[in-house]
Amino acid sequence: MEEILDSILLGIVQGLTEFLPVSSSGHLVLAQEVLNANLGQGILFEVAVHIATLFAILIFYHRRVTQLIYGTVTCDRHALKYAGKLIIGTLPAVFVALLFRHWIEEQFDSLLGVGICLILTGFIVFSTRFTNKHTGLEEPSWGGAFLIGCVQAFAILPGISRSGSTVAAGLALGLSPLAAAEFSFMLGMIAMAGAGVLLLPELTSVSPELMNAILFGSVAALLSGLAALAAFVWLLRTQRFFIFAWYAWVVGGITVVWALA
């Protein structure tokens, strides 16, 4: 029962922090440390709850996703171009994940690294205070899509917010807030699906107890993720996105002190 409760709490942490710009991976590391929970083999539990938030994106953006799929199947020029940019934006993360997978997994054991990355996330998110007012493009250029993808690859590190850094990059490149959010989450959807495929073979060796924990955590992540998505879009519209920089700095600073102590 304790493992189930831990998985639900971690799922809620994942769902809320996946879409708010504070790094879900960093918070999962901190939450597991605080709860003294060890739910998974490597990063299996984290990938499972990430996939749950993938479904949150599908639900929240179901009309846009349907349009893209239908447009791609019917060879609509705009849909094909947007899908192509998503592929270009996904390639850097695929390259980094495949080449440095084991090194990246090791970073999930470093509280000091998580703290430093959270502080860096704060600076990234704070930059949107200046770029959010000078945007208007509805989709990135081909080069812009690749640059946003490079930022997403960097955000594989725990403590670097994927949503925060990719949206910040999109705003810096001139995207409107809603367009930056949409492109960011579409990229994230592909990345989460890819991570799930890579770790799918490991599910065959999961114990029934761990599988139950993963299922409960995934449901919690899905529900909390939907709430966080709505809040994320509202923050972008009202130009209050940057306020999470203060949170990232405080939590990052506490984590660094904790790790050194």
pLDDT digits (tens, 9 = 90+) for 130-139: 887 666 788 9
- What angle do helix axes 177-199 and 162-172 make, rounded to 10 degrees? 140
Q: Are 46 and 254 in contact (CB under 8 A)?
A: no
Which among 92, 100, 108 is positioned nearest to 39, based on CA atoms? 108
pLDDT tens figures, 54-106: 888 889 888 988 999 999 999 899 999 999 999 999 999 888 888 887 787 77
Burial 28-45 (b: 16+ CB within 10 A, else e): bbbbbeebebebbeebbb
Q: Residue 260 CB: number of other CB atoms within 10 A?
A: 9
Is the Cβ–Cβ distance between 248 and 126 less than 8 Å? no
Residue 94 in contact with residue 194, Cβ under 8 Å? yes
Contact status, residue 128 vs residue 168, Cβ threshold 8 Å? yes
- Confidence (pLDDT) at 42: 43
Predicted pLDDT of residue 135: 66
- Taking 50 as the pLDDT cut, the residues of the chain under it are 41-42
Contacts of 26 (CB under 8 A, 6+ apart): 17, 114, 117, 118, 121, 158, 159, 160, 161
The pLDDT > 70 percentage for the chain reads 88
| DSSP state, residue 201 | G
Using alpha carbons, list the distances in angstroms from residue 233 to 37, 55, 128, 177, 238. Answer: 32, 17, 14, 8, 9
Q: What would the two tokens of residue 156 be?
A: 């594989």
